[in-house]
Each structure stands twice: as C-alpha cells, then as structure tokens.
Structure 1
Amino acid sequence: MTEQLQSIKFASNISLYSSWRSSCSYRVRIYLNLKSLNYRIKPVDLIKLSSLNNAEVQLPSPTKFVPALEIDGHTLFESMAIMQYIEETRPHNPLLPNNPLKRAQVRAICDMIVSGIQPLQNTGVLNYIGDYLGEKEKKWSQHWIIKGFDAVEKVLRETSGKYCVGDEITLADCCLIPQVFNARRFHVDLKSYPIILRIDRHLHSHPAFRKAHPMMQDDFPSEMLTDPNFFKAKL
C-alpha cells in the first residue's frame, strides 16, 4: 500500500461538482471539510440535469450524477467511492475506526442510507414517478424515509455513543446528517427517532457540517426561503 501511495501524484487543486439539493454532494462536502481539504465547488443545476437528454449541463462522470470529484488527475464519481479513495490516500483525520467490528458498523449504516433510503428520493426518480403518483409523490418519499429510519434507529441503539458509532465522527455521520435534512425537506415527523435527533443536534454547530449545509452553498436559491413547501431550517 505504501508503494502504491507513493506512485500517486497528489494534487492540491480539488474540484467538486456539487448541488445544494443533492444529499450525496452534501455528504462529500462534509467529508472534505472534516479532512481539512481545500476544494473548489462547481455548482450543478439538478433541475436542468434531470431533464432527459439535456445537453446544457456538462458533467465529467458517465452517470451524469453529482457528486463528481476531480482529484490527483482523475475524476471520481459516487459519493462512497470518493470518500473511500480519499480515506485510503489521505489517512490523516481518519473517519473509519481501527476496530474491524466498528468499521463494519460504520459501513453498514452508510449502506443503509446510501443504498436503501436516499436513492428513492433522487430528483430523477421523483420526476419520473411524479407522472404516476401525482399528489402522492411526497408520501412516497416519506414512506421510504420512515421505513429506513426505523431500521437505522434500531441499529444506532447498539452502535451509537455521541455519534453514530461510538464517540468519534465517522463516515456514518457524514451520511446520516444529509438524510436528516432530506427527511425534514419532505416533512417527515422525526419524533420517533430520538437517537438520530440527538446525533443531529450534536453535529448541528460543528464547523465542517455547518459549512457543508445546503443553505450555506452559493447555489442555494434565496427564493426557497419564502417557499411555503420548503422547511425553515435553522442555521
């Protein structure tokens, strides 16, 4: 591994294709901040991006999703792959525990959110099913968030300390907090999830999480603050 790391030409200029609306981008912004890495954000309009065959939005990833990260002469895509690449190439401020069991717990919580909950509120998915569900579109999102959070809360009863796994911030926290934001955006009642809410409170004022918050992004549209359907997040 040491020889492999020595062969990488580390770049100081890192660019993140990101959208305020994307919880996948949000988790990577948190992660980069926790790793104390300087990066430049290239904002992407998800509404334009979600239009089929839209040529206006140029993205370097074959999936045409955000986030995408330009780093070390490469373009990486998929949030977990991005974070794990950096974790392996830049081991300072580690966000995976040394203990194998705790590492597995962190990865399981990440997977529950990244694979099991978030994709069902993806902008492209909602645009597609909206034609069929109509006014029930919000209930679709609420159903899958509640189902997923029921399971996550149960896991956290066994794994959590101050944060998702023990008392150190991990990749699991990077994934959880953006999903809490999504839950509030879809007006999910979170009272049934005291551990999730406790962890969210602990991290609310953390500089890395605060800087990454959607409402702190340059591409966050100010008119959203007067939209009655957009929840009023407190910063």
Structure 2
Amino acid sequence: MQDRPKPPPGPPPFDDFKILNVHGNSTPAKVWKGTKEVAKADRKFSSLMEKSEDLSNLITKLDRGNFTYCIFGGWLRDTLAGHITARDIDLVVSGIEVDDLRQFISCETKATIFGGIMGKSETTPFDIWPLGDTFLIRKLSLPASFQTLLQTTDFNINAGLYFPSQRGALPYILDGGMGEALRNRIIRFNSEHLVLPVVQTARLLAYAAKLDFSFDRHTYNFVKEVIQNHKNQRDVIEGLRSFQPKSIANRAEEIMQKFFKG
C-alpha cells in the first residue's frame, strides 16, 4: 500500500515573531465600483485564470462553496501601477479553516512562514490564507474581517483588496491607502505593527526601485536606522540578490547607498 504524502506543517509558533511598533497611519477604506481600476483588475485576473489551471480550479471551488475571498497586496498594486508584471498572487478567504482550504488546492503546497499556504503552481504561484489566520489578526487576536486585514497591512502601497465578481455580485476594490500611494508615489507605514525589520527593509528598497517611489519621513528613518548596522546591510543585500530580479536588486542597492551620502 502506497504511503500518502505528509501534509505541510501547520502555522509557525507566532510568539516567535517579535513585533516592532512603527509610525503607522491607516486610511479609512473606500469602495471602488465600476471604476477603471476595477475594470483593469478584472481583465488581468480573467487573463490569469485562463493561463493557470491550478488557480482556476481553486477559484471554481471557492465559488461553489460560496466563500468570500479577495486578492490583496502585491498583485493588485503591480496591476494598478501599470508597468509591472506581478510574479505571484496572494488570496485571503473568510469562513474556512486552513486544513479544509488545503483540500481545494490541486498543485503541490507548503506552509508559509506566516501561517498561510503556498501553492507551487508552475504558471501562477500563489499564497492563500484563511482570513482568521492572517498574521497580525491571529497574533493580536483581532476581529477577522476584511476591514481589519486592510488596517493590518504593512505599507500603504499594499493596502488594497480586490474582490472578483462571484454569485452575481459585481467586482469591487476596497482601498485602504493604495490608491493615494500610487498617485503620490510615496511609501509609508500603514499598520502600527511590523515584524522582521531587516526583511521589511529589503522589501521597501525593492518597492522603491521597481516603482520609482520615495519614502515618507518615518519610513526613511526606519530604513536608515536598520542599515546603519553592517550585518543588517549584508543581510539586506543578500535578500535583494536572492529574491529580486538583478535589475531591481542593483537599483535597490543604489538607493540604499544614498542613505550614507550627504
């Protein structure tokens, strides 16, 4: 009898992650319906589903189960920015447990460091979480709502949720600061809580590099403080070179060097 493959491990012990208090400034959410941004997200998401059987199967099962889900963060940001192709997509689903959600995924999976599930689709890799298992909602025992998810998003450029059309409902975007960030081209903290400051510094530099955005005063000072430490500098550079395209990593390192001039 053939052994069944072992399921991926569950969420990590969240107490292992230290939370840093930062100058967060979440924006009251706005609903966008029938806008050009929603239409653009619709076109891109439909195209993505046509290319990825794994993602299409997952969405079909979520729709059949009458689950409410959204796409959040990087994919929506890069889609609305217009000149960037997102490498993966993040989803959040309400009203489901992680073990049940795993049954909906047809491709190989593994647990993410923040408690979600990574779907290793060859065409469109994706990360997916039950709403109640998103990191800060679980860590801080916050109400499991999409409004809370927006408020706990790390940076303003990621504070946006796209809800595709389902069960006859029109698609819409819940904007918690992403729109303003894209207009003003400035990155700032959204949540007042942050983990893994060195990793987040690398992410901030990568965002600035690929979007050609600036930092507000608080975010600038945060990056500057982190990279004052030589080990942190090396870790940031290693992270950029390991996880970003070469052109983005090089540009991000150039931006980092400007912190030491003048």
* TM-score normalised to structure 2 length: 0.32
Q: Could you say which structure has the higher helix fraction?
A: 1
Q: Could you say which structure has the higher strand fraction?
A: 2
* TM-score normalised to structure 1 length: 0.35
Determine which structure has more spread, i.e. the larger CA radius of gyration.
Answer: 2
